[in-house]
């Protein structure tokens, strides 16, 4: 796979990412970033795969300060093999490789906000899952991630990305709460022989009532006679 010669499209109008720098006072003003030669795409450059070429261009775009997107993909007839993929600048696209850009570029501190350069890594997904299990609010999770990374620009994603990931996880778990609760109770029962639980479901398999007690709560009940009840149907019919 080789990189074809591209040249800038001056009539571009589509903007997918918000520009993070003010526009130049003069149309002729351009910003020329400092990029290492081995990071710049070259005419005739070859890669082992389309994914390898895409990753290379993503890295180059991040160094320069702009976002990219896939424009078109051509597949082989009769097969699902990709034979051509066009990747363009987020403003519209480029058709020649130039370091100069006629539109404002992002600073290194803000380039992580561009769409193609941000993602919630697997490590952060695992960490946010642990935070959620400990009932740490999402906004506090973001503050922890920011402190750990040494700044919001080093997290690799935006606050909205974290919120979207948390919402996605909740949607995936929706409808599985009874099964997860059963698994948790069985695990507790293995660790505590005095742990007892009972789950009551309706004809559709939906949870109606649930009761559980462990060795500590049993001893407490013998002393105080207290029982804690959670009314999960509160306000559900309003």
Q: What is the mean pLDDT of each run of 10 residues along the chain (238 residues)?
A: 39 36 44 73 83 82 72 78 76 51 51 59 80 82 83 74 81 75 90 90 81 90 84 61
Of 14, 20, 111, 19, nearest to 61 by C-alpha is: 111
Is 234 within the bounds of a domain?
no
Q: How many domains does the chain have?
A: 3
Residue ranges of E strands in the chain: 68-75, 82-89, 196-201, 207-213
Sign of CA dihedral 30, 60, 70, 86: positive
Is 235 within the bounds of a domain?
no
Residue 118: per-residue pLDDT: 62
Q: Are residues 10 and 43 in the same domain?
A: yes
Q: Are residues 138 and 55 in the same domain?
A: no
Is 64 within the bounds of a domain?
yes
Residue 196: per-residue pLDDT: 92
Q: Are residues 100 and 153 in the same domain?
A: no
Q: Are residues 111 and 1 in the same domain?
A: yes
Q: Are residues 55 and 139 in the same domain?
A: no
Q: Are residues 95 and 112 in the same domain?
A: yes
Question: 91, exposed or middle or buried, with CB in 10 Å at 0-12, 13-18, 19+?
Answer: buried
Residue 232: per-residue pLDDT: 66
Is 236 within the bounds of a domain?
no
All residues at 6 or more sequence positions from 27 whose CB lies less than 8 Å from its CB, including other chains:
102
Q: Are residues 96 and 18 in the same domain?
A: yes
Is 238 within the bounds of a domain?
no
pTM exceeds 0.85, yes or no = no
Q: Are residues 14 and 47 in the same domain?
A: yes
- Torsion angle of alpha carbons 146, 152, 154, 159, nearest 10°? 90
d(CA 218, CA 214): 6
Q: Are residues 74 and 100 in the same domain?
A: yes
Are residues 1 and 46 in contact, defined by beta-carbon separation less than 8 angstroms? yes
Query: Angle, nearest 10°, between helix axes 159-173 and 122-133?
Result: 60
**Domain end residue (candidates: 80, 100, 117):** 117
Residue 31: per-residue pLDDT: 54
Domain of residue 193, residue span: 177-224
All residues at 6 or more sequence positions from 20 whose CB lies less than 8 Å from its CB, including other chains:
104, 106, 107, 110, 113
Q: Are residues 82 and 23 in the same domain?
A: yes
């Amino acid at each position: 796979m080789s990189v074809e010669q591209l040249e800038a499209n001056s009539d571009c109008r589509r903007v997918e990412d918000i520009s993070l720098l003010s526009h130049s006072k003069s149309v002729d003003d351009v910003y020329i970033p400092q990029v290492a030669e081995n990071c710049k795409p070259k005419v005739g450059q070859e890669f082992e795969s389309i994914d390898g070429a895409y990753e290379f261009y993503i890295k180059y775009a991040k160094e320069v300060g702009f976002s990219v997107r896939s424009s078109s993909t051509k597949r082989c007839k009769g097969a699902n093999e990709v034979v051509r993929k066009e990747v363009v600048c987020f403003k519209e696209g480029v058709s020649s490789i130039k370091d100069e850009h006629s539109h404002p570029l992002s600073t290194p501190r803000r380039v992580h906000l561009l769409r193609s350069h941000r993602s919630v890594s697997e490590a952060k997904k695992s960490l946010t899952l642990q935070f959620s299990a400990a009932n740490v609010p999402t906004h506090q999770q973001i503050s922890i991630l920011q402190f750990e990374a040494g700044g919001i620009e080093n997290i690799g994603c935006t606050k909205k990305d974290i919120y979207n990931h948390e919402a996605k996880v909740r949607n995936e778990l929706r409808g599985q709460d009874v099964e997860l609760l059963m698994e948790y109770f069985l695990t507790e029962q293995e660790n505590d022989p005095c742990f007892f639980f009972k789950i009551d479901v309706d004809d559709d398999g939906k949870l109606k009532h649930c009761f559980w007690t462990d060795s500590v709560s049993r001893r407490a009940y013998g002393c105080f006679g207290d029982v804690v009840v959670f009314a999960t149907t509160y306000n559900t019919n309003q």
